[in-house]
Structure 1
Amino acid sequence: MKTVEQLLQAKGHKVISIAPEKSVFDAMQSMAEYNTGALLVMRDDELVGILTERDFSRKSYLLNKPVKDIQVKEIMTRHVAYVGLNDTNENCMALITELRIRHLPVIDKDKVIGILSIGDLVKDVISEHQFVIEQLERYIYDTPEI
């Protein structure tokens, strides 16, 4: 299994974020623009929460006001699970499964340096399995008959 550091090397370190005082409308526009299901909520360089499509769909209607009048901090998830560079894909998958979440920020030395989605993790698992299959096929077909 690859480490988070290896996964980020392949994926990149791009982090899409939003300030907690911004409107949920602005957040949804950013999600649409960047084709992502989550934004990290940052105050300067500090991670203060995460806003997901699930947060929007489950919490915003409870406030009974227009999305342009709802601030991100009103519906964001404040307690954010995260991983470090030395965690493995297996650790990430276990955490995502246990917590029923879809995104994991990557933090190194108290700084957000990336984010992994369940899609990133599944893509890597499929790639690993495909590699094993190819190696087994090569072994089977390259083995001389006796």
Structure 2
Amino acid sequence: MRKVSDILARKGGTVVAIDAATLVLNALKLMAEKNIGSVVVTEHGEYAGILTERDYARKVILEGRSSDHTTAGEIMSTSIPRVLPENSIETCMHIMTEGKLRYLPVFSYNKLEGIVSMSDVVTETILSHVATIEQLQNYIQS
């Protein structure tokens, strides 16, 4: 059974992080530059939440706020469930589906180890199916 640790081993645990005082406009520029849909937000060097494109659309655009006067800390998501490296991919799928989430922070011993996206979960599921198919083909041919 594939685990969150498999995703982190494949993609690495590097996260893009910004301080909560960062203006949303600058956070969006960073996300565009890195071609990512979220960034980790920190306060005093510690994980505080995640800022996503969805946060921007719903908490800035729809509320008529200005992205060059609003900080990441004002609109970040803070109640996102955390997962552990030993959690299964199925657990992530369940949490993401139930919560309508696209990103989950991965923690081990209260330390942020990485971020798992819906795309990561789908990719890992596909890789698992491909490996199963190859094993079955090898079994049939032997």
For this structure pair, what is the TM-score category when the shorter chain's length is used for normalisation? Answer: over 0.9
Over aligned residues, Cα RMSD in angstroms? 1.4
- What is the count of residue pairs matched by the alignment? 142
Shifted more, 60-69 versus 17-26: the winner is 60-69
- Cα separation, 1, equivalents of 2:116 and 2:82: 9
Residues 65 and 118 (structure 1), Cα distance of their counterparts in 2 relative to 1, 3 Å cut: closer
Output the TM-score relative to the length of structure 2.
0.92
Per-residue deviation, 1:62: 4.1
Q: Which residue matches 1:52?
A: 52
- Cα separation, 2, equivalents of 1:63 and 1:132: 48
Per-residue deviation, 1:18: 1.2
- Cα separation, 2, equivalents of 1:71 and 1:104: 21
Question: Does the CA contact (< 8 Å) of 2:41 and 2:48 recur in 1?
Answer: yes
- Cα separation, 2, equivalents of 1:61 and 1:13: 31
Q: Which residue matches 2:36?
A: 36
Q: Are 1:74 and 2:66 an aligned pair?
A: no
Report the structure number with the largest CA radius of gyration. 1
Gaps spanning 5+ residues in structure 1: where?
none
Secondary structure of 2:107's counterpart equals strand
The AA in structure 2 aligned to 1:5 is S
Runs of 4 or more, structure 1, over 3 Å off, are none
1:88-129 CA-partner distances (Å, limit 9, x unpaired): 111111111111101111111111111111111110110111
Output the TM-score relative to the length of structure 1.
0.90
- Cα separation, 2, equivalents of 1:90 and 1:65: 37
- Cα separation, 1, equivalents of 2:96 and 2:33: 25
Shifted more, 67-76 versus 51-60: the winner is 67-76
- Cα separation, 1, equivalents of 2:89 and 2:59: 30
- Cα separation, 2, equivalents of 1:63 and 1:6: 39
